[in-house]
Structure 1
Amino acid sequence: MAPAYQNREVAALTSLQSWEFLAVLAYGDGVERVAVEIESRESNVGEARRFVRRQLAFWGLPEDDGLVDRVLLVISELVTNAVVHGRTRPSEETESVGVTLAFRRGFALGVMVTDNSGDIPKVRIRPSAFADCGRGLVLVNAESDAWTAAPRSGQQGVDGKAVWAFFQCPQPAALSELMPQPV
Structure 2
Amino acid sequence: MQVLHVQLEVGADPAEVGRARRWARSRLAGSGIEADEPVAETLILLISELVTNAVVHTGCPAVLRMLLPGVPEDAPRTVRVEVADTSARPPKQRHADGDDTNGRGLELVSGLADRWGWQPEGAGKSIWCEVDRCDPDAPAVAFDGVSYGDLDVDADVDTAYEAV
- 1:170 positional shift: 4.3
1:96 aligns with 2:61: yes
Q: What SS does structure 2 have at the residue aligned with 1:70? A: helix
The Cα of 1:130 is off from its aligned counterpart by: 2.3
Partner amino acid for 2:131?
F
User: Which is greater in Rg?
Assistant: 1
**Which one of the candidate residues 151, 157, 162 is aligned to 2:120?**
151
Query: In 2, are the aligned partners of 1:106 and 1:170 still within 8 Å (CA)?
Result: no
| Aligned counterparts, 1:103-118, within 5 A | 103-104=68-69, 105-118=75-88
**Cα separation, 1, equivalents of 2:29 and 2:37:** 13
The one of 28, 43, 48 aligned to 1:71? 43
String of CA shifts for 1:65-115, please: whole Å, max 9, x gaps.
31010000010000000011122xxxxxxx421000002334200010011
Contact 1:101/1:112 (CA < 8 Å) preserved in 2?
yes
1:60 to partner: Cα distance: 0.8
SS in 2 for 1:131: coil
Report the TM-score when normalising by structure 2.
0.74
Counterpart AA for 1:133: N
Aligned length: 130
User: Counterpart of 1:142?
Assistant: 111
In structure 1, distance between residues paired with 2:37 and 2:77: 16
Matches of 2:120 and 2:134 in 1, distance apart? 30
**Structure-1 residue corresponding to 2:125:** 161
Q: Percent identity?
A: 34
Residue in structure 2 matched with residue 6 of structure 1 by the alignment: none
Q: Secondary structure at the match of 1:50?
A: helix
Q: Identify which of 1, 8, 14 aligns with 1:42.
A: 14
Whole-Å separation in 2 of the counterparts to 1:122 and 1:74: 16
**What are the ranges of 5 or more consecutive residues in structure 1 without an aligned counterpart?**
1-28, 88-94, 154-158, 172-183
The gaps in structure 2 that reach 5 residues or longer are 70-74, 136-164
Q: Is the 8 A contact 1:53 1:72 kept in 2?
A: yes
- Which has the larger helix fraction? 1
CA distance in 2 between counterparts of 1:30 and 1:161 reads 26
Please list every run of at least 4 consecutive aligned residues from structure 1 whose deviation after the TM superposition is greater than 6 angstroms. Answer: none
Residues 112-133 of structure 1: CA distance to partner in whole angstroms, max 9, x if unpaired? Answer: 0011111111222x32112221
Q: Give CA-to-partner distance per residue, 1:40-78, whole Å, 9 cap, x none.
A: 110110000011000000001133331010000010000
Tell me the TM-score normalized by structure 1: 0.66
**RMSD over equivalenced CA pairs, Å:** 1.7
- Please say if 1:32 is aligned against 2:4: yes
Contact 1:103 1:110 in 2 (8 A): yes
